[in-house]
Amino acid sequence: MDALLNIPVLGFILQFLVYLVDVIVNGHIAPIILGLATPIALGALCGVMNERSGVVNIGIEGMMLFSAYVAFMTALFVHQAIPADRSTFFGVTPALISGIIAAIIAGVLISLLHAWLSISVRADQIISGTIINITALGLTSYLNRLIKPFDSAGTFQSFRPPAELINLPGVGWLFEMFLSVGPIAMLTIILVVVVQILLFRSRWGLRTRAVGEHPKAADTVGINVIGLRYRNVLLGGVFAGLAGAYLTLEATGSFQNNMTAGRGFIALAAMIFGRWTPLGAFGGALLFMGSQALGVAIRLAPPAGDLGTFLAGIQQSYPSIYNNFFTGLPYLLTIIVLAGVVGRSVPPAADGRPYEKESST
């Protein structure tokens, strides 16, 4: 084995793969990967709800950002008004609950704007989404400047599964990944599975897919295309709201200007990668954000051997580039995946085309 690992370039790759497996299974970074993937997965769910119904939504980024801000500020105000002890159940407080609810409402409200512009006004949907992004960024930056937050309502706490479960050889990391996380992250997996099942086996799912593929056909069998699209876009706003709440109430306990940093777009790529299915998008989210987790892992527990020394050497000479490389990996992966996948991964046929009920001659 050592002989293999010592071959110049191939050896590095092998060392890397060995390291990868080791760090995932033994390195306790699995929950970190899920944590990073959660907002992406939720954003992708929002995207799926929209695009499966035929509405392109580029504004997930803005929805997330705005919901994140609303979640944070609401939790803060409630926390100021009603200081409460943390319950043992995920560290829940009234403040945090209010924050989530407010975030969901915010997500739905912005989705209402997007739905209105895309479905009723029939504006170009990409422009509509971009406008939402610009406005959300502007509004949150403005408000953040105006009201300088001086405190925080804290965050949800992760669940602590029994140690025996985590330390199971071989599969322990799976349990750790899905259980050693906060409530929103845990909820995400459940939501992914539920939406997947409903999309392909329920009446709602059949009608949604029909409306996204061929709205005229759906119309002629009596389905309310406009109504269904509105409802689904609004429902998507719930997921975007949850994603925002996650960022400020579970992942960190603060709000930074533009803290979404492109996650909304990575979510889109995950959705395209997953062929517009929730499970596929979830896989994509894990893949994209796993690369960032890798950076964390390498810093905490550097690989042994030549690869380790090589990496340490780079870190020494080019610390900023080294760090930025790992931060930038998800973005790079997104481009690569998109370039490779489009054309093979086909969106719903009526995606992006506003529906007009015609009374034809």
Partner 1 sequence: MISRPRSYVGRLVVPALSILLALLVASLLIIASGLIGPEKKINLLLPLIAYRSLLAGSFGSLKGVANMIVAATPLMLTGLAVGVGLKAGLFNIGATGQVLMGGFTAALVGVRMADASPAIAIPAALLGGIAAGAVAGFIPGFLKAYTGAHEVVTTIMLNALSQLAISGLVNDVFRAPGFSFARTAPVGNAALTGIGGTNLHLGVLFAVVCIPLSYWLLWRTTVGFEIRAVGANPTAALYAGMKPRRMMILTMSLCGAFAGLAGAIEIQRLGYYPAVFGTSIGFDGITVALLGQANPIGIMLSGLLLGAMRAGAPLMQIQARVPVEIIDVIQGVILIFLAAEIVVRRIFRLRAPSAGAGELQTITRTYGEKVTG
Partner 2 sequence: MSVAQPPPPLLQMSGITKRYPGVIANNKISLDVKAGEIHALLGENGAGKTTLMNILFGLARPDEGEILLDGKPVQIADPADAISRGIGMVHQHFMLIPVLTVAENILLGAETMANAVFLDRREARRRIIELGKRFGFEIDPDAKVETLSVGWQQRVEILKALYRQARILVLDEPTAVLTPQETVEVFAVLRRLAAEGHSIIFISHKLYEVLEIADRITVIRRGEVVGTRQPTETNEDDLAALMVGREVLLAVERGTSHPAEPVLTVENLKVKSDRGQEEVRGVSFTVRAGEILGIAGVAGNGQDELVEAITGLRRSSGGTVQLAGQDITSWDVRKRREHGLGYVPGDRQKYGLVLGFPISDNLVLTQYYHRPFARGVQRADAAIEKWAQDKIKEFDIRTPSWSVPAGTLSGGNQQKVIMARELSRELKLLVLDQPTRGLDVGSIEFIHKQAVHKRDGNTGILLVSAELDEILELSDRIAVMYRGEIVALLEGRPKANKEEIGLLMATGGRAHTEGSPNDTSGPSGATPDTSIRRETA
Residues in touch with partner 1 (CB under 8 A):
56, 58, 113, 116-117, 121, 123-128, 130-131, 134-139, 141-142, 145-147, 261-262, 265, 268-269, 272, 317-325, 327-328, 331-332, 334-335, 338-340, 342-343, 345-347, 351-353
Cα(218)–Cα(222) distance, integer angstroms = 7
Which has the closest alpha carbon to 256: 177, 152, 347? 152
Residue 210 binds partner 2 (CB under 8 A): yes
Indicate whether 226 belongs to the interface with partner 2 (CB under 8 A).
Answer: no
Of 240, 201, 207, 205, which is closest to residue 226 (Cα–Cα)? 207
CA distances for 12 relative to 6, 21, 164, 285, angstroms = 8, 14, 34, 26
Q: Check residue 223 for interaction with partner 2 (CB under 8 A).
A: yes
CB of 145 to partner 1, least distance (A): 4
**Which one of residues 8, 85, 203, 317 is an interface residue with partner 2 (CB under 8 A)?**
203
Binding partner selected for residue 18 from partner 1, partner 2, none, CB under the kind-specific 5 to 8 Å limit: none
Q: Give the angle subtended at the CA of 136 by the CAs of 135 and 137, to the nearest 5°.
A: 90
Candidates 18, 126, 174, 206; binder of partner 2 (CB under 8 A) is: 206
Q: Does 342 bind partner 2 (CB under 8 A)?
A: no
Residue among 216, 318, 323, 327 that touches partner 2 (CB under 8 A): 216
Which of 204, 261, 296, 353 forms a contact with partner 2 (CB under 8 A)?
204
How far is 306 from 333, CA to CA, in rounded Å? Answer: 25
Strand partners, 62: none
Which residues 6+ apart lie within 8 Å of 177 measured at CB? 30, 31, 33, 34
Taking CB within 5 to 8 Å according to partner kind, which of partner 2, partner 1, none is near residue 206?
partner 2
CB nearer to partner 1: pick between 244 and 347: 347
Q: Is 201 in the site for partner 2 (CB under 8 A)?
A: yes
* Total residue count of the chain as it appears in this document: 361
Stretch that binds partner 2, among 62-70, 96-104, 170-178, 208-216 (CB under 8 A): 208-216
Task: Identify which of residues 176 and 351 has a Cβ nearer to partner 1 in the complex.
Answer: 351
Write out the two tokens for 166. Answer: 């985590």
Residue 7 interacts with partner 2 (CB under 8 A)?
Answer: no
- Please check whether residue 309 is in contact with residue 298, taking contact to mean a CB–CB distance below 8 angstroms: no
Query: What are the residues whose beta carbons fall under 8 Å from the beta carbon of 313, sequence distance 6 or more?
Result: none
- What is the rounded distance in angstroms from the CA atom of residue 164 to the CA atom of residue 27? 16
- Quick check: helix, strand or coil at residue 342? strand
The site partner of 316 among partner 2, partner 1, none (C-beta below 5 to 8 Å per kind) is none
By CB under 8 A, name the binding residues for partner 2.
Answer: 198, 201-204, 206-207, 209-210, 213-214, 216-223, 349, 359-361
